[in-house]
Each structure stands twice: as C-alpha cells, then as structure tokens.
C-alpha cells in the first residue's frame, strides 16, 4: 500500500503543491503549525530519511533550501525552521516552517485552522517565489 504522500505525488489525493522536480515534491502541510508550513518529500517512497542515499539526501536538502528561500520571500518571517520527525507517515519528509520565534515550531500544540482557499493562496505565493 502506497503512503499518503506517494498518493499525493501520483495525483490521487489533492495537495497544495509549492514546488517539484523529477525527484522531490513540496506541498503545504494540511495541519500547519504556522502559515506556510511546507513538507518536502522524495518522490520515491522511503520510510526513514537516513535511509536515503547520501547523494540524494544532499539533493533533497538543496531542493528544501530553494523552497525555504521561496517561503522567506512569500511569508513574513525571520527564518524558516527545519524539522525531521517522520512518525505519522511512513515516508521521509522535511518540515519547513516560517518562524518569527522558536515557539512557532511547537508541533505539540493546537494547529492552525485554515480554509482550502487560504491554503491555495499561500501555496500560490510560495510557488511564485520559487526559483
């Protein structure tokens, strides 16, 4: 059974895509801890991020950096924080979270409630800033 993220990449489940290339896909988290909270995943389904081969992991981080720079241009923040947890979905992923203070990256609290239209607008802004 394919992970929910693999099904998103395949277009079986809708997402608010921010960016993609032949290896990686970036989309908004549907339960964001901050505005613009984005997930970066390899298109190849690999459960644990440290099981990704070194060269590909390097390319994934470079792709994530480009997404983070787009977030910085599109979302008001001081930086973009990065987290890797990967317990909810068995598909490696990086959380990129625009932050103004460290507590903005608290994953244990209440998530933001956003409409599909709000998420679509944020995704469009980040995507437009992606280079």
Residues annotated as part of the active site: 93
H or E element that contains 123: helix 116-129
Positive or negative, the Cα torsion across 44, 39, 126, 69? negative
27 in Cβ contact with 123 (< 8 Å): yes
86 in Cβ contact with 48 (< 8 Å): yes
């Amino acid at each position: 059974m394919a992970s929910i993220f693999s099904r998103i990449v395949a277009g079986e489940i809708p997402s608010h895509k921010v960016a993609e290339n032949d290896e990686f896909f970036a989309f908004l988290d549907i339960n964001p801890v901050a505005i613009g909270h984005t997930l970066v995943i390899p298109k190849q389904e690999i459960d644990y991020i440290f099981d990704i081969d070194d060269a590909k992991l390097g390319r994934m981080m470079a792709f994530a950096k480009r997404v983070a720079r787009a977030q910085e241009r599109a979302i008001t923040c001081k930086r973009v924080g990065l987290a890797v947890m990967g317990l909810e979905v068995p598909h490696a992923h990086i959380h990129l979270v625009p932050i103004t203070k460290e507590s903005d990256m608290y994953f244990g609290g209440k998530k933001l409630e956003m409409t599909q239209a709000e998420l679509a607008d944020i995704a469009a802004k980040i995507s437009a800033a992606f280079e």
